[in-house]
Structure 1
Amino acid sequence: MTTHGGRRDQAERDAITVEIGYALFSAAFAAAVVFGAVAGPALLFDLQDTLSRVLLRTGLVLAPVLFAARVISVLVRFRQAPRPGDLDRTGRTPQPSQPGRTNPDS
């Protein structure tokens, strides 16, 4: 949140909206890929009933777990990322990394 009364400006709200959309889309894609990789053989091939049930149930357990883990990891990483105007531990705005160049404050 910003320092002016705790309200977010439009750019911050837009960034949050985009990040939530990215988290949901990438999590759905990853969950679908994992479900297809694990349960796909049971759906495509004529396997033994026991093996087919194990693969389907494993896919049905792994897909939502991966979905939740992906959404949480993306949103936590977004929340921890430094924002323009944030202060570092010394109370100054952090300088962008410029390899090979000296710090302008030195």
Structure 2
Amino acid sequence: MGRRSQQDRDAITVEIGYALVSASFVAAAGFAGITAPALVLDLSDTAGRVLTAVGGTVAAFAFVARLVHVLWRFPRRPDGPPPPSQPSRTGRTSPDS
């Protein structure tokens, strides 16, 4: 793989930042959704600890899943030559018509 241009590096940096921020948001929402009953309702200490542990586990899983999902979908630069930008024959709309 050849050297990347500054534009490619900037796009990767922005994509990683977006993945981290959105994964953090999803993890926080999952944690808050699961542990909210422990804060609102009068639950025993054991139930509160269980909900907090489950919320932390779900938050960690959601963070990793969202991070992988966003970064996996990031378009990669092809190794070969770029596709032709115009049809191969004049007057045609696509090369196979």
Tell whether the structures are fold-level matches, with TM greater than 0.5: yes
Which region of structure 1 is more displaced relative to structure 2, 15-24 or 45-54? Answer: 45-54
Aligned length: 90
Distance 1:23 1:94 in 2: 32
Calculate percent identity across the aligned residue pairs.
50
Question: 1:1-106 to 2 correspondence within 5 Å?
Answer: 1=1, 6-78=2-74, 81=75, 83=77, 86=78, 93=83, 103-105=93-95, 106=97
Length-normalised TM-score, structure 2: 0.77
Distance 1:10 1:45, change over 3 A: same
Gaps of at least 5 residues in structure 2 are 86-91
Q: Give CA deviations for 1:56-87 in whole Å, capped at 9, x if unaligned.
A: 11001111111111111111111xx255xx47
Which 4+ residue blocks in structure 1 deviate beyond 4 angstroms? none
Q: Is the 8 A contact 1:31 1:64 kept in 2?
A: yes
Deviation at 1:94, TM superposition (A): 7.2
Higher relative contact order (CA 8 A, sep 6+): 2
Larger radius of gyration: 2
Q: Partner of 2:73: helix, strand, or coil?
A: helix
Length-normalised TM-score, structure 1: 0.71
